[in-house]
Amino acid sequence: MQAILFDMDGVLYNSETPIEGAPETLEWVRRQHIPHLFVTNTSSRGRAPLAEKLLRFGIPATADAILTPAVAAADWLRASAGGPVALFVKPAARPEFDGLPLLPDDAETGARYVVIGDLQDAWDFRTLNRAFRLLQSDRQAALIALGMTRYWQAPDGLRLDVAPFVAALEHATGRKALVFGKPAEPFFRAAVDRLGVPAAGVLMIGDDLEVDVMGAQGAGLKGALVKTGKFRPADRETAVAPDAVLESIASLPEWWRQAQ
């Protein structure tokens, strides 16, 4: 093991509550000079607010050390041929898309790209239907998913994430979404490229067996599951075999030393 990718929500904190031992483990990682990145499917805010949140929990990180689906999607949109973009993301995530030709928030036609992020309580029938109308009005319009996470652990219980809304639009339009973020292989490859080590030497640590562990393993990385966040004991009864199972992120230094 040469480098680490850290999922954030459910690994370093649960929503607004820090997970015990996270700052100490990250300090250990820095002292050991282990290359690492924070790789999150969070699409409700941009990297700057995410870095501020980490710092609030005692984890210093620069925006450059955080990779999100919005960053990957915006990079791809800037590099592609271009065309109007309809954004379905929270205001806090919009700065990642600066410089792109954005459609007004009430447009129902004219999009070349329809980008779906985590709108949480802002989802309603009208909003979802507007995304559907944008896709139906132009057969060339591409559906873009900011991650395909099904649900996450909120303070009041589990909550729907991006995937169920993307699935609804895929079902209604008969089109497949282009996925930026976990568990899409190119997203893990982009993270590995930034670390500059071979994929097989990278450990992805997450609380989502499918999106984090299976996704990482599918891209040639190792996948470790933490028993925090959305982890449920039933997760262990599935066919996915994590390369490591940690009680929490606090157990990482000890596991790492034994694994070397």
Residue ranges that bind Mg ion, judged by CB under 5 A: 7, 9-10, 207
Q: How far is the CB of 166 from Mg ion (least distance, A)?
A: 18
Amino acid at 67: L
Q: How far is the CB of 140 from Mg ion (least distance, A)?
A: 34
Q: How far is the CB of 91 from Mg ion (least distance, A)?
A: 23
Q: How far is the CB of 158 from Mg ion (least distance, A)?
A: 12
The DSSP H or E segment spanning 178 is strand 178-180
What gap in Å lies between CA 31 and CA 8, rounded to an integer? 20
Q: Tell me how crowded residue 217 is: count the other CB atoms within 10 A of its CB.
A: 18
The answer for residues whose C-beta is within 8 angstroms of residue 164's C-beta and 6 or more apart is 150, 151
From the number of C-beta atoms within 10 Å of its C-beta (0-12, 13-18, 19+), residue 79 rates as: exposed
Q: Computed over its alpha carbons, how large is the radius of gyration of the chain? A: 18
Q: How far is the CB of 212 from Mg ion (least distance, A)?
A: 7
**Residue with Cβ nearer Mg ion (51 or 204):** 204
Q: How far is the CB of 83 from Mg ion (least distance, A)?
A: 32
**Residue with Cβ nearer Mg ion (14 or 173):** 14
The answer for residues whose C-beta is within 8 angstroms of residue 71's C-beta and 6 or more apart is 47, 96
**Residue with Cβ nearer Mg ion (16 or 124):** 16
The answer for residues whose C-beta is within 8 angstroms of residue 195's C-beta and 6 or more apart is 3, 5, 35, 36, 37, 202
User: Where are the alpha helices (H) located in the chain, listed in sequence order?
Assistant: 22-31, 47-56, 69-79, 125-137, 163-173, 185-195, 215-218, 252-259
What gap in Å lies between CA 177 and CA 166, rounded to an integer? 7
**Residue with Cβ nearer Mg ion (19 or 190):** 19
Q: How far is the CB of 73 from Mg ion (least distance, A)?
A: 19
**Residue with Cβ nearer Mg ion (6 or 165):** 6
**Residue with Cβ nearer Mg ion (41 or 173):** 41
**Residue with Cβ nearer Mg ion (173 or 228):** 228
Is residue 204 helix, strand or coil? Answer: strand
Structure tokens given for 162: 């991006």
| Position with the least CB separation from Mg ion | 10
